[in-house]
A and B are shown apart, each in its own frame.
Chain A
Amino acid sequence: MDKLNVLVCDDDKAIADALEIYLKYENYGVIKATNGIQALKALAEQEIHLILMDIMMPEMDGLSATIKIREEKNIPIIMLSAKSEDTDKITGLNFGADDYVTKPFNPLELMARVKSQMRRYTSLGSIAVKNNILKTGGLELDTEAKELRVDGEIVKLTATEYGIILFLMKNIGHVFSIAQIYEHVWDEPSYSVENTVSVHIRRIREKIEINPKDPKYLKVVWGIGYKIEKY
């Protein structure tokens, strides 16, 4: 397979250069643009597999560019911005971005997100859905093989962790309280042992999430319970 190309679109040269270095470590081809117009131009001229898009740029900003790109292409777009408000993130995602990373970011986390998006775009999209597989986003649970894959990679789980994931994956999008989870997974009434559930959940998150503090799949609904997000 040819080299996968990433378009880095940022008006800050230092950031773009740094990203280039990181992406080249990961064996990606890098094309750089300093604003939205350049990005569209590069997109028309070359084959691009993923875009890292800054929002605040001169001439054409990242949001406008994303809208334009989405008119014809469905390549993954990860937004990079110093704007960290919830509303900024929601706007970015609604305008067609696949992920939103706030500056200053952890470069390793960003690379993980890039790889995740790239896998989904290049290889996972065509896999046929089997009956024994529970799936949401890049998260797949094979109930026969008792295997959990995140973006195609197998994650090792303990029996209890598997039990929790199974229970939640069977009810994707549904929020369960600690007591409910305990009763279903341990199969006995909960009796002030709920601390163990929250500890297990955190450990699962650390295994499956790119950034456990900002989970994508296994979400904490504070004061209510936990759920697996539906994608």
Chain B
Amino acid sequence: MDIKLKNIKYLTGTKVIAVILAWLCFMSAAASGIFLIYNQDVMHNSSYYTTNSFNSEYSRLVHNAIELQIKLRNEPGIIVSSASQSTVSDNAERYQVIKNRLEGTVNFSYYIKNTATGEVISNVNAADRVALLKKQPSYLYLKQGVSGNNNLWYQDDIAKMLSGTNYEVHTAVVEPLKPGDALYEEFTNFSRVKAGIPYMIPALIASIILGLASFAYLVWAAGRREQSGEVNLLSVDRIYTDVHTLLVFLAAVLSIAIVTEVSNGGTIIMFVGAAIIFGIDLVIGLTYILSMVRQFKKKQLLRNSLTYKLYSAAKEYVVLAFRGKLFKAWTLLVLLGYGAINGVLFAIFLSTWRYNGAFEFLFSGLLLLGFNIAAVYFAAKSLRSLAQIMEAAKELSSGNLDYNLDTKEMSAAFAGFAEDLQGMQSGLRKAVAEAVKGERMKTELITNVSHDLKTPLTSIINYVDLLKKEELKNENAKEYVMVLEEKSARLKQLIEDLIEASKASSGNLSVTAEKVDMHQLVMQAYGEYEEKIEKAGLDIRTNTVEKDVFVLADGKYLWRIIENLLSNALKYSMPNSRVYISVEKNEKYGVLTIKNISAFPLEISPEQLTERFVRGDASRTAEGSGLGLSIAQGLTNLQGGRFKIDIDGDLFKATVEIPLWVEI
């Protein structure tokens, strides 16, 4: 249960409900608040007769009655005027307006009495009119020197009109009010609002409290999924914070403008429009605040601003430009300077065209032209330097470590780059030299060790041979001597192969290359191996379609290659199978291929086979040193050729490519 409750706090549904609740509360708070503010007059007065709206209407009517019945009626010559024509017509017009208004009010009653003449003017039809008026809560009594109560408006004006007269004025709104005029409408409105206010205030307070609570919850829960989890962002948070702020600000300004425009009208549709706008603004504002809260929690409020992004990007470029090695700061300054100078010169050129003589015009034109030609010259020089560097880099990558990059004429913009490249080149050269030296030392070591091995081996071979010549009575002893003889011969072969292999692979052999007929070589090889081939029961098929395959090679080494491949075929071929030897040529190479069927399954990769001491048969019981293919490969490479082995099931194929001999 606990866990469930905790989870509910972070559920999206809960949050959505909170958002809706907050929105509703703020809407209702706003509505009730506006209602209360709008009806402040009603709220502050317990009686209708003390409200401002009543006072303003009542005071106007009092003023109107006094103006009509005392001032205008007694105005001398209101019909036959003495003053200006316009004043007369003004007064007449005013008289009519006020008269109409007074006649239109049902609830306003007055009783005016001239104490000097006893003349009474009233709109009240009752027995004791003054007593009736005096009973009313809105009753006023005015005469020269008596100014009613403090709520009465226009008191100065009224006092002015009453001064010097003998009139006493009784006014009141007689209760109960009858329908038909503004006073009645305002009274009914007052009664209605007054009845609503007791509900409105608690509603306002409740809305505010609930809204704030929802809002507080939302702020607290914003970005959280689990109690201690990471802050999760919504898609709206991807908007840059400063851009978001600006948009919200714009929306607010726009809303205020619209509402201001709308509120002048005051119709119900306008009011609904304002409410809709406010509702939308509320959503925008809530979204904005919660987004800010989430990003604040994630500590990216500043980082996720466009300003910050622009700032850091600019910083990066500046750092790249001013600290980076690619372009030095002054390169950029030169570019800026070029643009500025060009602009100034062009401005001068244009102004001389407009205002000066032909000489100045020509001179400034030449200046502009010369400046740009110089700029193009320096740019071309830089580009040539770059081209040189690129050329050098290409040579380096293709292995020409001795390429000489001339830095004397190098443009200053690329001088550093060129020097770096040279540094790289010398580093590479050093590494290659070290590698060659290492390989040479290895070969020397192998050769020396082999020499040391040979001397004791000589004795072994000699004494085994002598032992063989002794009259050995024991049959076992004879057998043992045979084994010794065989193995010592094998050891001898191994040592010789080892020396040759290390020399061949390190290139530590001198090659005397000459024109060699590959076809002839294959014939000779066949002659040398004829006997062994027959003994092995193999059928050698030589396919020499092209007879004139002349290659540039050292015949001795080429023979060693063929010898190794042939003896390989003899050793490992399936008995009574065929061995195919072919000599062909392609565009650059003379190609010799030897194909045979292996007696053993070849469960080994071609690459491994050419490694030293690797043999097709894992048991190593067959004769051979395991160096034959390695030597063949080394010697092929030594002569600028290519050596390749293909294995397809039991088919073993060796391809030797030796550069063709070219007639000079």
A: residues with CB less than 8 A from B are 12, 14-15, 18-19, 21-22, 82-84, 102-108, 177-178, 192, 194-195, 197-202, 220-225
- B483-532 residues with Cβ-Cβ distance < 8 A to A are 488, 492, 496, 499, 514-518, 520-521, 523-528, 530-531
* A177 B517 Cβ-Cβ under 8 A: yes
Most B CB contacts (10 A, CB to CB) among A18, A22, A104 go to A104
* B523 A198 Cβ-Cβ under 8 A: yes
Bound-complex Cα distance A121 to B79 (A): 182
Closest 9 CB pairs of A and B: A198-B527, A222-B555, A223-B516, A18-B462, A223-B521, A222-B559, A82-B454, A14-B459, A104-B458
Between-chain CB contacts (< 8 Å), 8 pairs: A12-B455, A15-B459, A82-B455, A84-B496, A221-B555, A222-B521, A223-B524, A225-B520
Residue B238 interfacial (CB < 8 Å) = no
Residue B451 interfacial (CB < 8 Å) = yes
Q: Which of B459, B517, B524 contacts A12 (CB 8 A)?
A: B459
Chain A residues near B488 (CB-CB < 8 A)? 104
Bound-complex Cα distance A188 to B472 (A): 56
Bound-complex Cα distance A19 to B460 (A): 12
Residue B591 interfacial (CB < 8 Å) = no
Task: Report the minimal beta-carbon distance from B554 to chain A, rounded to whole angstroms.
Answer: 8
Chain B residues near A15 (CB-CB < 8 A)? 455, 458-459, 462
* B527 A104 Cβ-Cβ under 8 A: no
Most A CB contacts (10 A, CB to CB) among B458, B466, B528, B544 go to B458
Q: Which of B462, B492, B528 contacts A202 (CB 8 A)?
A: B528
Chain B residues near A220 (CB-CB < 8 A)? 524, 528, 559
Task: Report the minimal beta-carbon distance from A88 to chain B, rounded to whole angstroms.
Answer: 10
Nearest residue (CB) in A for B492 is A104
Task: Report the minimal beta-carbon distance from B195 to chain A, rounded to whole angstroms.
Answer: 126
Q: Beyond A15-B458, A84-B454, A103-B454: 6 further Cβ-contacts under 8 Å?
A: A18-B463, A102-B454, A107-B461, A178-B520, A222-B516, A223-B517
Bound-complex Cα distance A19 to B466 (A): 10
Chain B residues near A105 (CB-CB < 8 A)? 458, 461
* A195 B454 Cβ-Cβ under 8 A: no
Residue B569 interfacial (CB < 8 Å) = no
**What is the total number of residues of chain B having a CB less than 8 Å from a CB of chain A?**
40
* B523 A202 Cβ-Cβ under 8 A: no
Chain B, residues 156-190, CB within 8 Å of chain A (1/0): the string is 00000000000000000000000000000000000
* A199 B521 Cβ-Cβ under 8 A: no
Residue B283 interfacial (CB < 8 Å) = no
Task: Report the minimal beta-carbon distance from B542 to chain A, rounded to whole angstroms.
Answer: 8
Nearest residue (CB) in B for A222 is B555
* A103 B516 Cβ-Cβ under 8 A: no
* B465 A107 Cβ-Cβ under 8 A: yes
Nearest residue (CB) in B for A194 is B523
Chain A residues near B528 (CB-CB < 8 A)? 198, 202, 220
Bound-complex Cα distance A107 to B462 (A): 6
Chain B residues near A222 (CB-CB < 8 A)? 516, 521, 524, 555-556, 558-559
* B455 A224 Cβ-Cβ under 8 A: no
* A201 B496 Cβ-Cβ under 8 A: no
Chain A residues near B455 (CB-CB < 8 A)? 12, 15, 82, 103
- B549-570 residues with Cβ-Cβ distance < 8 A to A are 551, 553, 555-556, 558-559
Q: Which of B458, B517, B531 contacts A224 (CB 8 A)?
A: B517
Residue B457 interfacial (CB < 8 Å) = yes
- B536-550 residues with Cβ-Cβ distance < 8 A to A are 542, 544
- Would A195 and B451 be within 8 Å (CB), given that A18-B466, A104-B461 are in contact? no
Chain A residues near B457 (CB-CB < 8 A)? 103-104
* B527 A201 Cβ-Cβ under 8 A: yes
* A224 B516 Cβ-Cβ under 8 A: yes
Chain A residues near B551 (CB-CB < 8 A)? 223
- Majority secondary structure of chain B interface residues (helix, strand, loop or mixed): helix
Chain B residues near A84 (CB-CB < 8 A)? 454, 496, 499
Nearest residue (CB) in A for B521 is A223
Nearest residue (CB) in A for B523 is A194
Q: Which of B452, B514, B520, B527 contacts A199 (CB 8 A)?
A: B527
Bound-complex Cα distance A21 to B463 (A): 10
Chain B, residues 419-463, CB within 8 Å of chain A (1/0): the string is 000000000000000000000000000000001101101111111
Task: Report the minimal beta-carbon distance from A100 to chain B, rounded to whole angstroms.
Answer: 14
Chain B residues near A18 (CB-CB < 8 A)? 459, 462-463, 466
* B524 A178 Cβ-Cβ under 8 A: yes
Chain A residues near B556 (CB-CB < 8 A)? 222
Bound-complex Cα distance A100 to B180 (A): 150
- B30-85 residues with Cβ-Cβ distance < 8 A to A are none
Nearest residue (CB) in A for B528 is A202
Task: Report the minimal beta-carbon distance from A193 to chain B, rounded to whole angstroms.
Answer: 10
Chain A residues near B542 (CB-CB < 8 A)? 195
Chain B residues near A200 (CB-CB < 8 A)? 527
Nearest residue (CB) in B for A110 is B462
Q: Which of B527, B530, B559 contacts A223 (CB 8 A)?
A: B559
Chain A residues near B496 (CB-CB < 8 A)? 84
* B523 A224 Cβ-Cβ under 8 A: no
Q: Which of B451, B463, B525 contacts A83 (CB 8 A)?
A: B451
* A223 B520 Cβ-Cβ under 8 A: yes
Nearest residue (CB) in A for B514 is A224
Chain A residues near B514 (CB-CB < 8 A)? 224
Task: Report the minimal beta-carbon distance from A186 to chain B, rounded to whole angstroms.
Answer: 15
Most B CB contacts (10 A, CB to CB) among A178, A197, A200 go to A178
Bound-complex Cα distance A194 to B558 (A): 19
Nearest residue (CB) in B for A103 is B458
Nearest residue (CB) in B for A223 is B516
* B458 A195 Cβ-Cβ under 8 A: no
Q: Which of A198, A223, A224 contacts B526 (CB 8 A)?
A: A198
Bound-complex Cα distance A201 to B527 (A): 8
Nearest residue (CB) in B for A13 is B459
Most B CB contacts (10 A, CB to CB) among A14, A19, A198 go to A198
- Would A197 and B527 be within 8 Å (CB), given that A15-B458, A82-B451, A84-B496 are in contact? yes
Task: Report the minimal beta-carbon distance from A103 to chain B, rounded to whole angstroms.
Answer: 4
Most A CB contacts (10 A, CB to CB) among B454, B516, B551 go to B454
Bound-complex Cα distance A221 to B515 (A): 11
Chain B residues near A201 (CB-CB < 8 A)? 527
Task: Report the minimal beta-carbon distance from B486 to chain A, rounded to whole angstroms.
Answer: 14
Bound-complex Cα distance A18 to B467 (A): 11
Chain B, residues 131-166, CB within 8 Å of chain A (1/0): the string is 000000000000000000000000000000000000
Task: Report the minimal beta-carbon distance from A4 to chain B, rounded to whole angstroms.
Answer: 21
Bound-complex Cα distance A195 to B457 (A): 38
Nearest residue (CB) in B for A198 is B527
Task: Report the minimal beta-carbon distance from B37 to chain A, rounded to whole angstroms.
Answer: 115
Nearest residue (CB) in B for A86 is B510
Bound-complex Cα distance A228 to B630 (A): 33
Task: Report the minimal beta-carbon distance from B275 to chain A, rounded to whole angstroms.
Answer: 105
Chain A residues near B460 (CB-CB < 8 A)? 104
* B523 A197 Cβ-Cβ under 8 A: yes
Bound-complex Cα distance A103 to B460 (A): 11
Chain B residues near A102 (CB-CB < 8 A)? 454
Task: Report the minimal beta-carbon distance from B536 to chain A, rounded to whole angstroms.
Answer: 16
- Would A223 and B454 be within 8 Å (CB), given that A18-B463, A84-B499, A195-B526 are in contact? no
Most A CB contacts (10 A, CB to CB) among B524, B525, B531 go to B524
Task: Report the minimal beta-carbon distance from A151 to chain B, rounded to whole angstroms.
Answer: 23
Task: Report the minimal beta-carbon distance from A116 to chain B, rounded to whole angstroms.
Answer: 19
Chain B residues near A21 (CB-CB < 8 A)? 466
Task: Report the minimal beta-carbon distance from A201 to chain B, rounded to whole angstroms.
Answer: 6
Chain A residues near B518 (CB-CB < 8 A)? 223
Task: Report the minimal beta-carbon distance from A168 to chain B, rounded to whole angstroms.
Answer: 15
